[in-house]
Amino acid sequence: MISDEQLNEYRLSGEKVRVVRDAMPDNDIRGIVVAWDDTHVLIRRPNRNVVKLDRSYIIQPSREPRISPED
């Protein structure tokens, strides 16, 4: 699970992140970190919709190569 400090860095910088949910790259969510709690994170997508996701997913900067989840 990603740390509070890392999420805060993404929020403050406004850096676009990628949330890897499964092995299919088409299912990734990209956007900016808006808020989080102990179990969830809110991501604002480019179309301004907000998505609530589990913090156990891989969250990485969008500019970096995609990290595939361990199956």
pLDDT higher than 90, residue 71? no
Where is 9: in which H helix or E strand?
helix 4-13
DSSP codes, 55-68: TTSEEEETTSPPPP
Does pTM surpass 0.85? yes
pLDDT in tens, 50-59: 999 999 999 9
Q: Which pairing describes strands 40-44 and 16-20: parallel, antiparallel, or unpaired?
A: unpaired
pLDDT higher than 80, residue 32? yes
